A and B are shown apart, each in its own frame.
Chain A
Amino acid sequence: MKTKIVNTGCCHDCGGRCVLKAHVSNGKINRFETDSGEDPQIRACLRGRAYRQRLYSKERLKYPLKRVGKRGDGKFERISWKEAIDIVASNLLRIKKKYGNSSILLIAGGGNQALLHGFLPVGAMLNNFGGFTRTWGIPSFEGTLFASMATYGTLNTGNHREDLLNSKMIIWFGWNPAVTIQDPGTSLILAKCREKGIKIIGIDPKYTDSIGIFAEQWVPIRPGTDAALLISMTYVIITKNLHNKEFIDKYSIGFEKYEEYILGKEDNIPKTPEWAEKITNVPAETIVRLAKEYATIKPAALIAGWGPARNLRGEQYARAANVLTVITGNIGIKGGFASGFMRAYPSRKVSHTKYVGNSASDKKKDQERNRDLFNPVELGYPPRPNSLYKLRGGTHPSSSRIHYNKIYDAMLKGKKGGYPTDIKMAYVVGSNPINQRSNSNLGVKAFNNLDYIIVHEQFMTATAKLADIILPINTFMERNDIAVPWLGSPYYIYLNKAINSMYESKSDLDICKMIAKKLKIRSKLLATPEKLLLRYFASKRKDIKNFRQMKKDGVLKVDVKEPYIAFKNQIEDPENFPFPTLSGKIEIYSEHIAEMNNSLLPPIPKYLEHNESIKSPHATKYPLQLITTHNRVRSHSTFHNMKWLDSIEEHCVWINPLDASPRQIQDGDIVYIFNDRGKIRIKATVTERIIPGTVDVTQGAWYHPDKDGTDIGGCANTLTIDSRSPGGACSMNDILVQISRTFSVDMEGS
């Protein structure tokens, strides 16, 4: 049998978009290779290499399914595509007629990170159908995003990875690219940095693989307190007169106000290393040394990972990190790093619709220009409180949207709870919210409160189990698409269809075309053939010069001549290149935020406690802090139950011996982790690699409640809180829990 090699890729919601070369014979993929072309090679990680076990999994959803049992019982019957489309269309019409378009909530997640599927076609279909309610607030990075916009007015704050080799020192917070990829090649560059003798320090509650392999030093920190560490480092730098005053004066505004807070003139609390030691558990002398080193070793890259911003005051940490890079003048120069959102080369166009103002003619124009992108439901809503609505390029500020971590509350309470609408239908695509949004148990309750649930899926996820109708979706291997990197590495992946769609699965795009036809919806996007859509995207990008070549090669590596340095122009030529903030300068103090007049969202970065902080009253009942990090075998809840991957990393909770011992927990024991929201059963790994007082359950394991309501799948979000920071950060870290070997007895543990 002749084997042909098809260039495709793996583009789930991890930090990579990677090359896979599928060996296909007789309509079947027999094996993969990865990029073997010019450097830098975009080598797939273990998840991509295990793709055949996902593609050919017995658990793939094969046919359209209609619920026959009670919701959540998992009883479905096979139906034809014709029947499925009829049912979806009639329910859309019914809900629209009875409750209006705003009662349809589109939950579109990151399961597919290529262009043509997921949100795009469903959004186009529903926009043309009269609109729908959208969500805002991305669990991964919303706190960081808010801070990046507030400080710099943009998300493009990153230097190219290669530029780290120009740094003299790298210091990171909650960043673990050995596992989270953070664009392919990042680990390789960190290895080269270490080999070059660049000093690397990792600040993290965990001794991560990235720290263990690349860093010279681990600074363990209590979760949720990174802002205090950064602020006290700022104190040391200011009081030792190590800050770059010239840079601060020239490029930023509001330093004086921050200085008042730092020195304690505002609240009588100088933010000394001793102050921070009590909060962070980082020794004061370590803080002094870190601060001095970061301020004097130049250039230095401070990388504020997204994880520490995933808590109820997340944006404060991210803003404090940005400001520290500013006062040391590490911006716009080789080897420096502005922190922020960290996107570099803008190959991924950030999609953000124009804010819909109140001028009728503007709205009309917008609407006519593009009915695929215009959502009539959002018409006329004022900006959301606490949103950076005056800035372009961040999160859409419309108050018609519901925060991702509040969708369950909104489903249960609706308008009476202060939400913009009563939600009756969930349309879920590329997403597994029950598993991946906070408070899974509440999610089930909320979903059960809905009138109708449509789910596009590849597997029977916890969310799909609650569906009224499930439409089976094909994978990257079964369709054509283009994928762009997450954080601005200069390349594109062209995914060539390697095999025909398995069973009766179809793509999101093809399904939406069928539904649109049934509903007699006219959508430009849905009427355009897939190939033309891809060509259209490519035509919009100046760096894609040869579409055919990109398609043939499966990858296009853009020659950028030299590594991209964020804000190089702003620093070298401030007259002609203002920062894209309202003031045109870096905003240490934000007038836009000051106008919000919210003590939990101060105009300068501050360390703020919250209900799940270790100092909150809840901590007496639930004295351990939970973090929910990523592991190497899953991309969120994708890649569940693949033998090649599961055998590598068993799902478990990391707990320090100092916390395990008083609870009589030994390595390998089955334990319960619980709080008021739920309890999970999970294996314990007793390890020195985590700071005492903190436990880690990697997110993404599949929610699986037993008959007593214990989640025996060990889903981290059974424990997280369905709340958010004022800036929009989802609270996936810094969550109070207790652990016990048995659940009924010995609840207190110690």
Chain B
Amino acid sequence: MVQLGFFIDQTRCIGCQTCSVACKDWYDIQDESINFLKVKYFEKGKFPDIFISYLPTPCYHCSEPLCAIVCPEHAITKNEISGIVTIDQDKCVGNETCGAKCLKACPYDVPQFGSESNSKMQKCNFCINRLEKNLNPICVDACPLYAIEYGPIDELRLKHGNNYLATNFKYSNRCRPSIFHKPKLK
């Protein structure tokens, strides 16, 4: 398996959320509470000595996807070739029926259910259909700062270094997310 992952240059992220809106447009997500890609904001300091940072947070398509492990319906699978973690909505029985086990297991709040009752899980699927057409994930092509890259995780490590760290991000040793960062640190 060649594990695909993301590299995010946090030092470039201006928090514009173009990635997030482009994603909603591509997948036609009209439910406001659903976000496949959230941009987190961090601020500290007192006037006039202030620090801010933003961080786009897609699904990290973890090496050990806890969401898949806990799903009672085996609706979440990790692709054997790409390592992409996807949900089979036909198998998902809804968050109220199962108690949203995947969401509780995920340290990054990735699984999304929306506002309707007993919704089926949705999440970032690495734009698998775009990848099949040799297109980049929509967020990668959308970012005006070219701050999001993707590729086989080993190649990203070689290119950008072995750094998981970022402000507003905690690396989970349990699920081992497929992500490298160039962090914006104070």
Which residue numbers of A lie inside 8 Å of B, CB to CB?
Answer: 30-34, 36, 43-46, 49-50, 52, 178-179, 184-185, 187-188, 191, 194-195, 207, 209-210, 212-213, 218, 220, 632, 643-645, 647-648, 656, 658, 687-692
Complex-state Cα separation, A33 to B54, whole angstroms: 23
16 contacts between A and B (CB under 8 A): A32-B22, A34-B141, A43-B141, A46-B18, A46-B22, A49-B142, A187-B145, A188-B145, A209-B14, A212-B52, A213-B11, A645-B21, A658-B47, A688-B50, A689-B43, A691-B47
> Considering only CB atoms, which chain A residue lies closest to B9 in the complex?
A191
Contacting chain A: which of B23-31, B85-93, B100-108, B111-119? B23-31
Interchain nearest-CB distance for B132 vs A (Å)? 16
Q: Evaluate whether A191 and B142 lie within 8 angstroms (CB atoms) in the complex, with A30-B28, A207-B50, A220-B47 already known.
A: no
In whole angstroms, what is the CA distance A217 to B54 when docked? Answer: 18
Which residue of A31, A188, A688 contacts B47 across the interface (Cβ within 8 Å)? A688
Within 1-55 of B, Cβ neighbours of A (below 8 Å) are at: 11-18, 20-22, 24-26, 28, 30, 32, 43, 45-48, 50-54
Contact: B50 with A644, CB < 8 Å? no
- The answer to whether A218 and B48 have CB atoms under 8 Å apart is yes
Asked if B75 CB lies within 8 Å of chain A CBs, one says no
A9 to chain B minimum Cβ distance, whole angstroms, is: 15
Pick from A185, A218, A645: contact of B50, CB under 8 Å: A218
Q: Do A207 and B14 touch across chains, with their CB atoms under 8 A apart?
A: no
Contact A632 B16 (CB under 8 A): yes
Nearest residue (CB) in B for A195 is B11
Q: Which of B41-79 contact A (CB under 8 A)?
A: 43, 45-48, 50-54
> Is B169 in contact with chain A by the CB < 8 A criterion?
no
Residue numbers in A under 8 Å from B11 (CB-CB): 191, 194-195, 213
Q: How far is the CB of A339 from chain B (nearest CB, A)?
A: 23
Complex Cα spacing A78 to B172, Å: 60
Tell me whether B171 is interfacial, beta carbon within 8 Å: no
Chain B residues with Cβ under 8 A from A210's Cβ?
14
- CB–CB A689/B145 < 8 A: no
Does B143 sit at the interface, judged by CB under 8 A?
yes
Q: Which residues of A contact B141 (CB under 8 A)?
A: 33-34, 36, 43
Given A34-B142, A43-B144, A645-B21, CB of A692 within 8 Å of CB of B47: yes
For B52, the closest partner residue in chain A by CB is: A212
In the A-B complex, the 7 residue pairs with the closest CB atoms: A212-B52, A178-B14, A46-B21, A688-B47, A49-B21, A46-B18, A49-B22
**B47:A43 contact, CB within 8 angstroms:** no
Cα distance A643–B31 in the bound complex, in angstroms = 9
Given A36-B141, A187-B14, A643-B30, A688:B25 Cβ within 8 A? no
Q: Is the CB of A31 within 8 A of B25?
A: yes
Known: A33-B141, A191-B145, A689-B43. A45 touches B50 (CB 8 A): no
For B24, what are the chain A residues with a Cβ–Cβ distance below 8 Å?
A: 50, 644
Query: Complex Cα distance A692/B144, Å?
Result: 33
In the assembled complex, which residues on chain A have CB atoms less than 8 Å from the CB atom of B143? 43
Chain B count of residues within 8 A CB distance of the other chain: 35
Rounded to whole Å, the gap between the CB of B43 and the closest CB of chain A is 7
Say whether, besides A43-B143, A212-B50, A648-B17, A50 and B45 are in contact (CB < 8 Å): no
Rounded to whole angstroms, the CA-CA distance of A2 and B71 in the bound complex is 37
Given A30-B28, A49-B25, A184-B144 in contact, is the A191-B50 Cβ separation under 8 Å?
Answer: no
Q: Which of B22, B50, B141 has the most CB of A within 10 A?
A: B22
Q: Is there contact, CB below 8 Å, between A213 and B32?
A: no
Interface centre among A30, A184, A209, A691 (most CB of B within 10 A): A209
Residues of A contacting B50 in the complex (Cβ-Cβ under 8 angstroms): 207, 212, 218, 688-689
- Contact residue among B15, B20, B28, B142 (Cβ-Cβ distance under 8 Å from A209): B15
- Complex Cα gap A44–B18 (Å): 8
**B residues near A33, Cβ cutoff 8 Å:** 138, 141
- Nearest CB in chain A to that of B10: its residue: A213
Bound-state CA distance A658–B47 (Å) is 10
Q: Which residue of B lies closest to A687 (CB)?
A: B43
Q: Shortest Cβ distance from B166 into chain A, in angstroms?
A: 14
Do residues A191 and B12 form an inter-chain contact, with CB atoms below 8 A? yes
CB-based nearest B residue for A16 = B144
Contacts of B17 in A (CB 8 A): 46, 632, 648
From A217, which residue of chain B is reached at the shortest CB distance?
B48
Contacting residues, chain B, for A632 (C-beta < 8 A):
16-17
Option from A36, A179, A644, A689 in Cβ contact (under 8 Å) with B21: A644
Report whether B52 and A49 are in contact in the complex, using a CB–CB cutoff of 8 Å. no
Given contacts A191-B11, A645-B21, 20 further A-B contacts (CB under 8 A): A31-B26, A33-B138, A33-B141, A34-B141, A44-B18, A46-B17, A49-B142, A50-B21, A52-B25, A187-B145, A207-B48, A209-B15, A212-B51, A212-B53, A213-B15, A213-B184, A218-B50, A632-B17, A644-B25, A688-B45
Q: B124 to chain A: closest CB distance in Å?
A: 16
Contact B144 A187 (CB under 8 A): yes
Chain B's closest residue to A18 (CB) is: B144
Q: Are B13 and A213 in contact (CB-based, < 8 A)?
A: yes
> Could you tell me if A49 and B43 are in contact, using CB atoms closer than 8 angstroms?
no
Closest to A32 in B: B25
What residues of A have a CB within 8 angstroms of the CB of B142 in the complex? 34, 43, 49
Give the one of B11, B15, B47, B138 with max A CB within 10 A.
B47
Decide: A45 and B144 in contact? CB cutoff 8 A.
Answer: yes
Question: Contact: A213 with B14, CB < 8 Å?
Answer: yes
Contact of B47 with A45 in the complex, beta carbons under 8 Å? no
Most buried by B among A50, A179, A185: A50
Tell me the nearest residue of chain A to B22, going by C-beta.
A49
B-side contacts of A179, CB under 8 Å:
16
* Residue numbers in A under 8 Å from B32 (CB-CB): 643-644, 647
Report B147 CB to chain A, min CB distance, Å: 8
CB contacts (< 8 Å) of A178 on chain B: these are 14-16
Which residues of chain B are near A195, meaning CB under 8 Å?
A: 11
Residues of B within 8 A of A52 (CB): 25
Is B28 a contact of A49 with CB atoms below 8 Å?
A: no
Residues of B near A218 (CB, < 8 A) are 48, 50
Q: Are B14 and A688 in contact (CB under 8 A)?
A: no
Docked pose: A45 CA to B145 CA in angstroms: 10
Supposing A188-B144, A213-B13, A644-B24 touch, asked if A207 and B52 sit within 8 A by C-beta, the answer is yes
The residue in A30, A33, A213 that gathers the most chain B C-beta atoms within 10 A of its C-beta is A213
Task: Give Cα distance in the complex from A30 to B24, angstroms.
Answer: 11
**Pairwise interchain contact B16-A31, C-beta atoms closer than 8 A:** no
Evaluate whether A656 and B47 lie within 8 angstroms (CB atoms) in the complex, with A31-B28, A46-B21 already known: yes
Complex-state Cα separation, A36 to B30, whole angstroms: 25
CB-based nearest B residue for A646: B32
Bound-state CA distance A32–B26 (Å) is 7
Bound CA–CA A46/B142 (angstroms)? 9
Of chain B, the residue at the smallest CB distance from A633 is B17
Taking the nearest CB of chain B, how far is it from the CB of A272, in angstroms?
A: 22
Q: How far is the CB of B88 from chain A (nearest CB, A)?
A: 23
Cα A185 to Cα B146 with chains together (Å) = 10
Of B12, B25, B43, B51, which one neighbours A50 at CB under 8 angstroms? B25
How far, in whole Å, are A34 and B25 apart by their CA atoms in the complex?
12
B80 to chain A, nearest CB (A): 29
Q: Bound state CA distance, A32 and B46, in angstroms?
A: 41
